[in-house]
Amino acid sequence: MPPSITSLETLLERLATGERPGAVQLTVLSDLGRAEGAVLRARWPSLPVEMRRSVLERSLELAEDNVDLDFSGLVRVAISDEDADVRRMAVLAGWENRSTALARLYAQMLRSDPDEGVRAAVAEALAGFVLDRELGRFDTEAGDLLVSQLKEVWEAREESVDVRARALESLGPRSLPWVDIAITDAYYEADSRIRLAAVRAMGASANERWLEFLEETATSEDPEMRFQTANAIGLIGSEAGIEQLKDLLADEDDEVVIAAISALGAIGGEEAVEVLQRIDADEEGPVADAIEEAIEDAKYHEDKDLLASRIGL
Cα–Cα separations (whole angstroms), residue 2 to 10, 21, 33, 94, 108? 13, 21, 11, 28, 35
> Phi-psi region for residue 211, left (φ > 0), alpha (ψ -120 to 50) or beta?
alpha
What the chain holds in terms of domains, given with CATH numbers, is 1-94 (no CATH), 97-194 (no CATH), 206-313 (1.25.10.10)
pLDDT digits (tens, 9 = 90+) for 144-178: 999 999 999 999 999 999 999 999 999 999 999 99
Q: How many other C-beta atoms can be found within 10 angstroms of the C-beta atom of residue 159?
A: 18
For residue range 263-283, list pLDDT tens digits in order: 999 999 999 999 999 997 766
* pTM across the whole model: 0.89
Distances (CA, A) of 87 to 10, 47, 81, 108: 24, 15, 6, 13
Query: Span 101-115, mean pLDDT?
Result: 95
Q: What is the DSSP letter of 240?
A: G
Ramachandran assignment for 31, one of left (phi > 0), alpha (psi -120 to 50 degrees), beta (any other): left
Give residue-wise pLDDT tens across range 229-266: 999 999 999 999 999 999 999 999 999 999 999 999 99
Region of residue 136 (left: phi > 0; alpha: psi -120 to 50; beta: else): left
d(CA 227, CA 248): 9
Non-local (6+) Cβ contacts of 24 within 8 A are none
165: Cβ contacts below 8 Å, ≥ 6 apart: 120, 193, 194, 196, 197
